[in-house]
Structure 1
Amino acid sequence: MAQQDRKQRAFERREQDILTAALELCATPRWESVTVEQIAERAEVGKGTVYKHFSSKDELLFRLMMRFYRGLLRMLHDEIPEGDPPAQLRAAFGRALRYHIDHGEYRYVVEYCERIDFKLRAQPAWREDFMQLDHAFHAWSGPIIEAGMSRGQFQQRPVMEVILGLRACFKGAVAMIWASDNWCSMGDNETVVMAATEFMLAGLRGCP
């Protein structure tokens, strides 16, 4: 049993090494030209070893995206204390946007995995994994929004409609942050974080 546990830990470490190598290579605008052979070389494993862990380059990139979003969800659970709903969401919006700033190396991987052509060819198991993660985000944010509505702090609306609107605004802010080098006179990233946070809170309150 102990030997089996050691083998499993070694397998998991090797998998993380492969993911880290792939992220390092895919963190530049030339990420699409990266091959499985290059990832294997960076991870110091054979190409066949990569395929023991991942069925394709697409699966490898999908797993990186999931690692990114699981880290974001973990941060929300760990760093946003219970309390006043507007204060909770102000902190959550700000920290989540700064999480994207701090983890900009994931930009090209996340953008690729969210493209419609990727989603159309994604394996059913990947879709299920992503849906479960999506539900976990809803399970975290939904009760906070409902609490704000029950206290009269947020405008009464269907919660899923509110989450959809927040997601659209949030993704727009992320797009500006991750493309910050290409934007002119729009303010720095911290300006985008503050403006988007206040805009989303105003929408929750129903401000005209």
Structure 2
Amino acid sequence: MRYQDQLFEQRESAILDTARRLFTEQPWDRVTIAEVATAAGIGKGTVYKHFPSKEALYARLVLDLNQINLHELRALQAASSAQDAMRTVIRRAFEQMLANPIETQLCLHCDRPEFQERLEAPFRQQFLDLECEYQRFFADLLSATLDNQTLSQADTQNLLWGVEACVSGVMTRIASGGFAHWAEPIALDDYFARVTDFIIAGLRAQAAALLAHPSRHE
């Protein structure tokens, strides 16, 4: 790699690290590019050479976080038994969100259609590619959970919708601060366990119905 390219990558990493730090010190949606530039010790125009908009900066943070998390979940799947993999992966995914509540908020923000529409085309494509990676990962997990019985791509997608709805609910709960404001607060660990049970029970029941009556879904 050329020296100039190395400097470019180092500077980009410094910008991202600075943004992450600032987001923990004040509301992330109020941090400006100028503040990121000042804290990183570079010019505002230099930041724009790396990220043409604040949305692009948000997108890079979220894409990087998801790639790191997905890599960990794949490794966890490989180290788990077929029957335990789904439960282990779901619980770890919830723990990943809890470990990065601010970036969980960013993930929810970046998933909004109006946000995606404002992104430059390369970033939109990266989000689509990431979604495909998660879908393939889910399909592998589901196959192992169902003792390698194979569902059609359409049926797998339908099951994924239910999982996505549950996971989005958990993300929203984490982003909002948990249950501390409830009259009888619920421990997040118990909440994660119950939601995980719900997801797995629902997947198995719905998959069994689909496998028993495939003609209904053609």
Scaled by the length of structure 2, what TM-score is found? 0.83
- Deviation, structure 1 residue 108: 3.2
* Aligned residue in 1 for 2:109: 112
- The DSSP-based 3-state class of the residue aligned with 1:187 is coil
Distance in 2 of aligned mates of 1:38 and 1:196: 39
- Deviation, structure 1 residue 41: 1.0
Count of residue correspondences: 202
C-alpha contact (below 8 Å) 2:102/2:175 kept by paired residues: no
- Deviation, structure 1 residue 120: 2.5
- The DSSP-based 3-state class of the residue aligned with 1:158 is helix
Amino acid at match of 2:145: G
* Aligned residue in 2 for 1:131: 128
C-alpha contact (below 8 Å) 2:179/2:185 kept by paired residues: no
Distance in 1 of aligned mates of 2:50 and 2:148: 49
* Aligned residue in 2 for 1:13: 10
* Aligned residue in 2 for 1:149: 146
RMSD value over aligned CA atoms?
Answer: 2.4
1:155-195 deviations in Å (ceiling 9; x for gaps): xx811111111111111112112321654135122112111
C-alpha contact (below 8 Å) 2:23/2:31 kept by paired residues: yes
C-alpha contact (below 8 Å) 1:29/1:108 kept by paired residues: no
Please, which runs of 5 or more residues in structure 1 have no aligned partner? Answer: none
* Aligned residue in 2 for 1:140: 137
* Aligned residue in 2 for 1:60: 57
C-alpha contact (below 8 Å) 2:18/2:36 kept by paired residues: yes
Task: Tell me which stretches of 4 or more aligned residues in structure 1 moved more than 6 Å.
Answer: none
2:138 paired with 1:122: no
C-alpha contact (below 8 Å) 1:22/1:39 kept by paired residues: yes
Please, which runs of 5 or more residues in structure 2 have no aligned partner? Answer: 207-218
Distance in 2 of aligned mates of 1:37 and 1:13: 19
Identity rate, percent? 25
* Aligned residue in 2 for 1:23: 20
Match 1:165 to one of 148, 162, 165: 162
Distance in 1 of aligned mates of 2:72 and 2:34: 33
C-alpha contact (below 8 Å) 1:166/1:200 kept by paired residues: yes
Distance in 2 of aligned mates of 1:202 and 1:6: 54
- The DSSP-based 3-state class of the residue aligned with 2:78 is coil
- Deviation, structure 1 residue 71: 1.3
Higher relative contact order (CA 8 A, sep 6+): 1
Amino acid at match of 2:5: Q
* Aligned residue in 1 for 2:199: 200
User: Which sits farther off after the overlay, 192-201 or 82-91?
Assistant: 82-91
Change (3 A) 1:144 1:108: closer
2:204 paired with 1:191: no
Distance in 2 of aligned mates of 1:29 and 1:176: 20
User: Which sits farther off after the overlay, 170-179 or 107-116?
Assistant: 107-116
Distance in 2 of aligned mates of 1:33 and 1:41: 15
Amino acid at match of 2:45: G
